[in-house]
Every structure is written in structure tokens, then in C-alpha cells.
Amino acid sequence: MRTIDLARTAIANTFRSKLRTTLTVLALFVGAFTLTITTALGAGVSSYIETQVNAFAADNVLLVQAQTDATLAAESDGPAEWDPESSTSSNAQAGGTPLAGAQAEPLTDDDLDAIAAIDGISGLDPVRTVSTDWVSHDESGQFEFAVNPQSAVTVADLEAGAQLDQGSSSFQVVLPNDYLEALDFDSADDAVGAEITIGMTDITGETHELTAEVVGVSRSSLFASGAGANNALVTELSSLRTAGIEGADENSVIAIAYLDDGLSTTEIDDVTAALDDAGFSAQTIEDQLGIVTTIIAGITGVLNAFAIVALIAAAFGIVNTLLMSVQERTREIGLMKAMGMSSGRIFTLFSLEAITIGVIGSLLGVGAAMLVGSGIGAALAAGPLAELEGLSLFAFEPLSLLGVVLLISAIAFVSGALPASRAARQRPIESLRYE
Amino acid sequence: MSSLTAPAAAPPPALEAVHLSKHYGSGANRFDALSDVSLSIAAGECVAIVGKSGSGKSTLMHVLAVLDAPSEGEVRIHGTNARSLSARALNRLRNREFGFVFQQFFLNAQQSVIDNVTLPLTIAGQRRGARRERARDVLASLDLLEKAAAKAITLSGGQKQRTVIARALAGSPSVIFADEPTGNLDSATGALVEDLLFSLNREQGITLVIVTHDDELAARCDRQVVLRDGRIVSDSAAPVLEEASR
Ligand SMILES: Nc1ncnc2c1ncn2[C@@H]1O[C@H](COP(=O)(O)OP(=O)(O)OP(=O)(O)O)[C@@H](O)[C@H]1O
Ligand SMILES: [Mg+2]
């Protein structure tokens, strides 16, 4: 029998018992639908998180702190202890990021030297303490304002304008877009190039104002909240804060270590280990965000497990459907074998029927999931999740869609194997005698 | 196919049964459907197998057509022991050389007549166009062409029987095994089918093995083999009316 005839016969047979096929297809449909939705949800959220994480340009940067019990605590997901010392500067040090879970001891100058001496580290920037009070533009009035002290290592998710120029001596700011309305800008483009005024109070209680140029407007982000400021501005803010008083500059708790270019992951691990031996804890920013991604992976894992359970149930449905089909067509199978059809071709015929059911079920499930997912995604993005810009909740990736279809077809094939081999093993004459 | 067991000059018989036995069950339940049956059918012969109901006619036909394995003895096809043939060779033999008319119709009810008739050709791997053309020729010779597109389930008994015969003929077999080929036909259609089978036998030298209750049909064959309780009680060129009647 030619393959095309096998396929044609298999497809025709699939539709011979419409109700039974429909029910089996429905079971697969549920599995395919769930699997597609959860995979897309996982992909959508992860890709969102990834864009957010990429805002930290974390590839070649380590965050280094002195090792303390608190550092260990920071690695678990327990709460950070309240520390009146650091809370005064939390506005600046934490910068709204999860990067400063617990406060370690400040790094001394000796510490900084020791860190810089480690192989693989090409530069070191203590994270300076800056604190700002407000921001204004023209007649806009003053609004609370915090500068992200780590903006030196971040790449903002820009809505308009350009990234900070760290080498520039002029003061530059990347403004979060939720300030646009408050500061009377019509649009993000309108804000780019504008001068804003930043107000701050130094440790002696005196207030200062300075102007900076808005070079870019960033989308609000899960992690990098706060405005970005370039080196020149951060340095200026930091020195204004100490009001020229010797020794008033608290040493940094976190230092940003720049790694040599082109280090492999194992080499980065070596640097981390060396820092660890020297009494520091070092993490890439991805490490620190690892918990978030782990949680997301966990949630999608659980959802996918449900989908797999649905698919296992569907697999039994296929076995049942095909067993009934084989039973019903005992004589037909006997006749085909009597007329010289090989067992292998009979097996293929029934396997193709199983695969046909699998392909129909998975295509319908994937299609429906895409429709429903896009609908829900659009509705949520317009409503409850409007805050999370750039988030498309369901990301339907062609490869994973194909994967779902292939997986379900494979499950269908495996489930069809038992009935198909039963059909193939039938002795023609016994099948023909079957009443 | 050649054989070492065959005499040097004469071609081996198309079909040969050597001390065939077929029994079902075992111990006290053992039932002998065929006992020590030996038979030799030359190519181009027309043989009627007659006997009472339950005498083992269908069983013998199935064993001769290598649809069923004998319990003892052997079946030779053109001198070759069927047991020595691979599954592939057996499938090919049944597909290319044999045509079957079973006692029941075994039509696929929901398929069209033409799809039923082309089944052996489909299995043989012929292209759709070629096999439909061949099927139409055969259907025309059985006066059934206008039913080609009809579903098998909509046919009358006689039309079903003719469809089954068309299916047996479609693959241009060299041996046709027919179990009660005229059993369900009125005398006119029965005559049509008989004439067709005998003309195939005469003109194309196709070997016929016909299982029948019909004395007239049996009488038209070259040879009648009479079975009783699984044994051959007579095998002659003359009609054996009293053995075949019931
Ligand atoms: N699978 C089987 N198991 C047990 N007994 C069987 C089986 N197949 C056939 N028989 C028995 O073998 C005997 C011969 O059967 P067979 O079908 O060859 O008869 P037949 O001569 O063709 O009869 P009929 O003219 O009614 O078709 C019967 O008694 C039948 O009961
Ligand atoms: Mg019979």
C-alpha cells in the first residue's frame, strides 16, 4: 500500500466514527490548550523579567559586599532585618531594587584594594550614597525624587531619548515615564532635552538645587525604579551631601566590580570563589534575581504538570478509541491481511489514525489557546496590568507551539501503539470468522 | 517459483495438499475439521469442492490459500512448501496470485463500491488512476458499473455478491478461490457470474477452486472433490450428485 493511500485511509477512518473521534480530540484539545497557555504565560513573564533584568547590563558586573550573616540571609528569601543605621540612606542605597536585601558592613579602603587586586576584576566602583528630595520642571511644583545609585551599571528600558553618557561631565538624567505628567511634559519625546531641577539636603541640613538634562525617558520597571543619573551627577550629589566635611562620607556597602571582557561563566565563578575566600560575597545581578525567575519557573512548572495530567487522561482516551476501532474493524483488518497487506502496514495505518487524532486535537488546542491568550493578554494589559509596561503576558513562540503539537502527536502515537500492534498481530482467518 | 521436489519435466501442480490435517482445540475438545487430505490441482484446472455443511470445505479452501496453517501436512504452491515462504512472500502471493470470494461478503459498508473493488490493488501499491480504471473494467463486465460510486451498504444481496467477485478479479489473479460465489444470486445473475468465471478459466487459464452446494455449478467444473467429515470421499471428473446433495 502506498503511503499516500495509507494516509488517506487513516484520515477517512478517523472520521468514520465522528462522535468517538470528537470526544477523543476534545480530551487532547484540553491538554494542548492548557500546555500552550501555560508555556506562553511562562515565556511571556520570563521574557518580561529578562528585559527588566537586562536593564542592569549585568553581563560583566559583580556586586560585592563584605560577608556577614546578613549576606547569608539575603541569599535566602527571609526578610531583611531592620537597621536604623542603613535606613537613613535606604532611599538611595536601595533605590527600590531588590539588590540590597540586607545591609552588610561598609567596605573599608583596604577591602576595596583587596577586591581590586583579584584576578579578573578590571575596575571597581563603590556605590556612592546619594539622597535627593525632589524634582521640578518649570512651574510644575516639586515631586519626591530618588536617584538609582546603580545607574552606572544599568541600561534603561528606554521609551524615548538615549542612554546616559557616563563619560560626560554634564549632569544627565534618565527620567522614569511616570514623572512625565507631573512635570508637565506632553510626551516622552517632549521631555528629552529638557532641564529639570533637583533638590537635596546635605548632612548639615542645608538645601541645595542643581539642574540636569533629561537625556532619556525610561519605562517603569519591576526592579530599576528611580531615575538614572550619570557619573558626573552622582559624584556631584554625593559630594554635596557630605557638605565638604572630612570623614562624613560613609563608606559604601556595595561595590560594583567590573569584570575583564570576555570571561566565561566558569571564569566568573572563579572570581566569585576568590572573592569568597577573601571574605566578600559577590553576586551577578542575575544571581540576585534568580529567586524571581525560580518562582516563575515553579509556577509554570506546576501549571504544565496539570496540562500533562490532562494529556495522560487524553492518552487513555486514544487507547480506548483505537481499541474500539480495532475491535469494530476486525473483519476489515482480516480482509486486508488476507489480501496480502503486511502487518507493518496495518500497524502504520492505525498509528496514523492515532496521529491524525493527535494532530487535530493539538492544532485546535493551540489555536484556541492563542485566541484566548491574546484576548486575555490584551484585556489585562489594558486594565489591571497596565502598570507593567512592556509586559505581554502570553508570548506564543513558534518553536514552543510546534513543540506542543509534536509532543501531543507523539503521545497520540505512543497511545496508538498498543491498539495498532493488536491489529497488526491479528491472524487473518480468525478475524474473518469474527462475528 | 521452482522446486527440487517436482519431476524434472512436468511443471509442478499449481496447488498441492499433502496429508493435510486441521484440528481445532485439544484433548477431549479436539475437533478434526480436516483429516489426511491429499489433493493436487494443476494450473488452469477448475475444481469444485462439495460436501455437506460443516464437512470442512471452507477450512480446506483457507488452508489451500495459505490463509490458515494446517496442523499437519503441507501445502505446496508450484511445488514450494508454503511453510518455507517468508511472511512477505506469502503476502505477495495472496495479493498478486490469488483472488478471494469469501462465504460472507466482507465489504466495507461505508465505502463506495469502487473503493471496495480496488482494495487488492490499493494494497498492491497501484496508483489511484490505474486501479480505478481497472476496477471500472471489471465492474462493467459484471454489469455493475452504474453502482461504482454507491456505498456498499446500499446494494442488494446480488449486487454485493457481484461486487465481491469484482474485487476478487480486480488483481488479475492466477487462482480464484470462491466460497459459494452464486449462493446469494438469482438464477440469471448466477448464470452471469458463472459464465464470467468459466470464461476466465477457459480463455485466460485462471485456476478456479469453487466451494459450492449447487450441483449444477459443480457439474460445470472439470473435477469435483467431495468432502465428508473432513475426509475426501471422492475425487473425480464426473458429478457425484448423491454425495453433494442435502
Ligand atoms: N475456529 C474454529 N474453531 C472450532 N471449530 C471450527 C473452527 N472453524 C471451523 N470449525 C469447525 O470445522 C468444521 C468445518 O468448518 P467449515 O467452515 O470448513 O465447514 P463448511 O464445509 O465450509 O460448511 P458450510 O457449507 O456450512 O460453509 C465445522 O464443524 C466447524 O464447526
Ligand atoms: Mg463454508
pLDDT in tens, chain A (435 residues): 888 999 988 888 888 888 888 988 888 898 889 889 888 888 888 787 777 666 655 567 777 877 765 444 444 444 444 544 443 433 433 333 444 444 567 777 778 888 888 878 877 777 776 778 888 888 778 888 888 766 666 677 788 888 888 778 888 888 888 888 888 888 888 888 888 888 888 878 888 888 899 998 888 766 656 788 888 888 888 888 777 666 555 667 777 787 777 777 788 788 888 888 888 887 776 666 666 777 777 887 887 888 788 778 878 888 888 888 888 888 888 899 999 999 999 999 999 988 999 999 999 999 999 999 999 888 887 877 776 766 778 888 899 899 889 988 998 888 888 888 888 888 888 877 766
Say how many residues make up chain B.
246
Report how far apart, in Å, the C-alpha atoms of B191 and of each of B102, B187, B195, B216 are: 19, 6, 6, 11
Final residue in a domain of this structure, among A239, A260, A281: A260
- Answer whether residue B167 shows pLDDT above 70: yes
Q: What are phi and psi of A81, to 5 degrees?
A: -70, 145
Please report, in angstroms and rounded to a whole number, the separation of the first and last CA atoms in chain A.
27
Nearest CA in chain A to B102: A432
Q: Do A149 and A180 fall into the same domain?
A: yes
Give Dmax (Cα) for chain A. 106
Q: Residue A155 domain-assigned?
A: yes
Angle, helix A398-425 to helix A18-54, in steps of 10 degrees? 150
| Predicted local confidence at residue A247, as pLDDT | 57
- Poorest-confidence range of A53-62, A69-78, B195-204, B230-239? A69-78
Final residue in a domain of this structure, among A209, A243, A260: A260
Domain boundaries, chain B: 15-245
| Predicted local confidence at residue A116, as pLDDT | 80
Q: Given A342, A429, A432, which is nearest B91 (Cβ)?
A: A342
Q: Given B88, B94, B125, which is nearest A339 (Cβ)?
A: B94
Ligand closest in space to the Cα of B59: 1
Expressed in angstroms and rounded, the spacing between residue B215 Cα and the centre of ligand 2 is 16
Spatial CB neighbours of A64, under 8 Å, sequence gap ≥ 6: A107, A115, A124, A254, A255, A256, A257, A275, A280, A281, A282
Give, for ligand 1, the residue of B26, B31, B228 to mutate: max count of ligand atoms closer than 8 Å to Cβ: B31
Asked if the Cβ–Cβ distance from B96 to A2 is below 8 Å, we say: no
Asked if the Cβ–Cβ distance from A5 to B122 is below 8 Å, we say: yes
Give the separation between CA A326 and CA A247, rounded to whole angstroms.
88
Q: Do A308 and A245 fall into the same domain?
A: no
Asked if the Cβ–Cβ distance from B95 to A339 is below 8 Å, we say: yes
Q: Do A238 and A90 fall into the same domain?
A: yes
Q: How many CB atoms lie within 10 A of CB A197?
A: 16
Question: What is the mean pLDDT of the segment spanning B92-107?
Answer: 91
Q: Do A31 and A70 fall into the same domain?
A: no
Q: Is A115 within 8 Å of A64 (Cβ atoms)?
A: yes
Q: Do A196 and A96 fall into the same domain?
A: yes
| Predicted local confidence at residue B191, as pLDDT | 86
Q: Do A368 and A400 fall into the same domain?
A: yes
- Poorest-confidence range of A140-154, A226-240, B160-174, B178-192? A140-154
Q: How near does any CA of chain A get to the CA of B188, in Å?
A: 28
Expressed in angstroms and rounded, the spacing between residue B175 Cα and the centre of ligand 1 is 23
Asked if the Cβ–Cβ distance from B119 to A16 is below 8 Å, we say: no
Question: What is the mean pLDDT of the segment spanning B208-219?
Answer: 90
Q: What grid cell was written down for A71?
A: 549576606
Please state the pTM of the whole predicted model: 0.69
Q: Residue A23 domain-assigned?
A: yes
Q: Do A91 and A222 fall into the same domain?
A: yes
Amino acid at the residue A396: F
Q: Residue A335 domain-assigned?
A: yes
Asked if the Cβ–Cβ distance from B106 to A339 is below 8 Å, we say: no
What domain range includes position A358? 3-52+291-433
Best B66, B91, B127, B174 member to test A by mutation, with max A CBs in 10 Å, is B91
Which overall architecture, per CATH, does domain B15-245 show?
3-Layer(aba) Sandwich (3.40)
Residues in chain B closer than 8 A to A325 (CB atoms): none
| Predicted local confidence at residue A91, as pLDDT | 40
Q: Given B62, B88, B119, which is nearest A339 (Cβ)?
A: B119
Q: How many domains does chain A have?
A: 2
Final residue in a domain of this structure, among A260, A280, A305: A260
Mean of the per-residue pLDDT values of chain B? 88
Q: ipTM for the complex?
A: 0.88
Q: Is A337 within 8 Å of A423 (Cβ atoms)?
A: no
Query: What is the per-residue pLDDT across B9-62, written as a single tens digit (0 to 9) for each?
Result: 577 889 999 999 999 988 888 999 999 999 999 999 999 999 999 999 999 999
Give the residues surrounding ligand 1 with Cβ less than 6 Å away.
A 433; B 24, 31, 33, 51, 53-59, 103
Nearest CA in chain B to A345: B123
Q: Do A234 and A333 fall into the same domain?
A: no
- Answer whether residue B145 shows pLDDT above 90: yes
Asked if the Cβ–Cβ distance from A340 to B123 is below 8 Å, we say: yes
Q: Is A105 within 8 Å of A68 (Cβ atoms)?
A: yes
β-partners of residue A135 are A143, A198
Comparing CA positions, the residue from B182, B241, B246, B245 lying closest to residue B208 is B182
Ligand closest in space to the Cα of B55: 1
Q: Given B67, B104, B123, which is nearest A428 (Cβ)?
A: B67
